[in-house]
Amino acid sequence: MAEHGFRKWIITFTVITAALLELIDTTIVNVAIPHIMGNLGATLDDAGWVVTSYAVANVIILPMSGWLGDRFGRKNYFLASILLFTFTSFLCGNAHTLTELIVFRVIQGLAGGGLLSTAQAILMETWPREEIGMATALFGLGAVVGPTVGPTIGGFIVDHFSWPYIFYVNIPVGAVAAFLVSTFVRESPKYAKGQPIDWWGILLLALGVGSLQVVLEKGEQEDWFSKTYIAVLALTTIVSGIIFLWRELSTDHPVVNFKILKTRSFAIGIVTTFTLGFALYGSVFIFPVFCQNLLGFSAQQTGFLLFPGGLATICMMPFVGVMLKRGVPAQFMSAGGFIMFFVFTLMLANSTLNSGYSDFFFPLIIRGVGMSILFVPLTTLALQDLKGPDIGQGTGLNNMMRQLGGSFGIAIITTLIHLKSSVVRNALIPYVNPYNPAYIQENQGLVQNFIGKGYGPLVAQQMANQAVEGRIVKQTMLITYDNLYLVIGLFTLFCVPIIFLQKFRKKAPVMAGAH
């Protein structure tokens, strides 16, 4: 039942606040990994599981969230997810060993995945369909801004406090959100109450999706299939996925209803949502690495650099809702968003080692505006023909595809960085030889510079060689990152024609979008 007045706005505020807990937590931990390693005595590979465990648990629960909300009631499930997320945030901050932290991050990821799709469904039940555009635009900006501001918040907390506080900050926010949910959100029908539980479906889903996420998170780091456990998990993904698909299509009470894929708009929509995840998380991953590793920016400086683009998204989101409500086709807006994102990557592909704040300001503004006119329209197109309990199932699958798009994007990008950098380095090395006049002039200049600082000729030559090697490394990575910006941009550009396969509907109801 739709709400009105103060109750409608307080529920909207509550839903957005609770969802932001999870959205920000997907990236806030990344900048704290070095501090966690030092404090808990862990290696980089081991500490990486702090991020991986959360992502695996999150992507497992996302497609199940619609079924869980239908079985226990959306309010009950949403409230339980908030309370569990808040409690495990305390446990994560209070962890004394890496094993404890990883276990608590798994539980936190399960709770966080339950926040997103359920928040969407509650929002759609709270607002009248003719007014939902503004609400979903406000909700959708969290999914774009949340992962962007996460590193900024994490960098500030780590620089001024200590790493446990990146978890402790969730506690007061979670407590307030839980109180507001229990007070203002009404219960929804329990569509799946009394139905048999698809235990085999749950097990196969956890095996298949969980294994896939681990492969994507750890594959490049482990040199892909050279490690036995990666190969085993890849095989588990394929076998479990096939059996899971057969199981869910043959049982009367599936945990994930794949029959909604018969709806053309939804089937096409999850492809474009996958692309959005690739673009959103891929760009959020590569840009901070580029700024910090090559340009020498700190995590906090990089976060502040991203802030104007996030602000542009915030400012544009309300206009997106208004335009959709007035009948502007979502296909045109989405196509414009993908084109703007391509322009952003094209501009960054011309970056140099001397690039600074002024060079990134307008490209990031363009990205922010592009993301604002991508997010809600794409979700609207995907979910426009779903009704009743199918909405909960659709939002769960749609969110999972966005998460997997990001995971695939990051896995592909890290692999391409490794492969492309080798190719570029091999292309540059031949120029470093005693018969190249440019190299001879550069090398002699460096030697004379070090001699002028008081070093002997032999030491000066060694230092000159090291300086040349450093320049080769930087130039290699610069060319590699510039090329990868284009790869991301072209990937999104090729998605534009797919959008127009979805049917046009004048003044289609605007659906909520999330991570």
Helix (H, G, I), strand (E, B) or coil at 444: helix
Cα distances (angstroms) measured from residue 369 to each of 21, 80, 343 = 23, 35, 12
Choose one of 254, 280, 300: the last residue of a domain: 254
Which of 52, 121, 61 shows the shortest CA–CA distance to 85?
A: 61
Which segment, 54-68, 378-392, 485-499, is predicted with the most confidence on average? Answer: 485-499
pLDDT (0 to 100) of residue 264:
79
Residue 42's pLDDT band (cuts 50, 70, 90): low
Same domain membership, residue 389 and residue 269:
yes
Tokens matching residue 205: 């889903």
In a domain, 514, yes or no: no
Q: Say if residue 512's pLDDT is above 50.
A: no
Interatomic CA distance for residues 447 and 459, integer angstroms: 9
Residue 254's pLDDT band (cuts 50, 70, 90): confident
Tokens matching residue 449: 């510079």
Interatomic CA distance for residues 62 and 281, integer angstroms: 17
Which segment, 122-136, 159-173, 207-221, 501-515, is predicted with the most confidence on average? Answer: 159-173
In a domain, 513, yes or no: no
Q: What is the mean pLDDT of residues 95-111?
A: 86
Choose one of 230, 254, 278: the last residue of a domain: 254
pLDDT digits (tens, 9 = 90+) for 344-388: 989 988 888 888 788 888 988 998 888 888 877 887 777 777 766
Same domain membership, residue 47 and residue 149:
yes
Which of 15, 14, 74 shows the shortest CA–CA distance to 393?
A: 74
Same domain membership, residue 221 and residue 357:
no
In a domain, 510, yes or no: no
Q: Are the CB atoms for 15 and 5 separated by under 8 Å?
A: no
CA 57-407-295 angle, to 5 degrees, is 120
Same domain membership, residue 456 and residue 336:
no
Cα distances (angstroms) measured from residue 459 to each of 104, 250, 433, 456, 469 = 52, 74, 19, 5, 15
In a domain, 33, yes or no: yes
Buried-exposed string 500-509: b where 16+ CB fall within 10 A, e elsewhere:
eebeebeebb
In 10 A of CB 327, how many CB atoms?
10
Cα distances (angstroms) measured from residue 382 to each of 251, 323, 509 = 25, 18, 11
Same domain membership, residue 232 and residue 128:
no
Same domain membership, residue 192 and residue 278:
yes
Same domain membership, residue 399 and residue 345:
yes
> Mean pLDDT for the chain?
78
Which of 336, 351, 357 shows the shortest CA–CA distance to 286?
A: 351
pLDDT digits (tens, 9 = 90+) for 127-149: 776 666 566 666 666 666 666 66
**Domain hosting residue 231, numbered range:** 198-254
In the chain, the percentage of residues whose pLDDT exceeds 90 is: 2
In a domain, 248, yes or no: yes
Q: Which residue has the tokens 């080692």?
A: 353
Overall number of domains in the chain: 3
Please enumerate, as own/partner, the contacts of 203-207 that have beta carbons within 8 Å and a separation of 24 or more. Answer: 204/240, 204/243, 204/244, 204/247, 205/60, 205/63, 205/64, 205/244, 205/255, 205/256, 206/60, 207/236, 207/240
Same domain membership, residue 392 and residue 448:
no
Interatomic CA distance for residues 101 and 93, integer angstroms: 8
Q: Say if residue 509's pLDDT is above 50.
A: no
H-type helices in 73-97, by residue range? 74-93
CA 87-92-95 angle, to 5 degrees, is 125
Q: Are the CB atoms for 382 and 398 separated by under 8 Å?
A: yes
**Strands in 279-425 per DSSP E:** none
In a domain, 506, yes or no: no
Same domain membership, residue 117 and residue 10:
yes
In a domain, 222, yes or no: yes
pLDDT (0 to 100) of residue 83:
92
Same domain membership, residue 268 and residue 414:
yes
In a domain, 508, yes or no: no
Q: What is the mean pLDDT of residues 426-439?
A: 74
Which of 301, 103, 84 shows the shortest CA–CA distance to 174?
A: 84
Q: Say if residue 510's pLDDT is above 50.
A: no
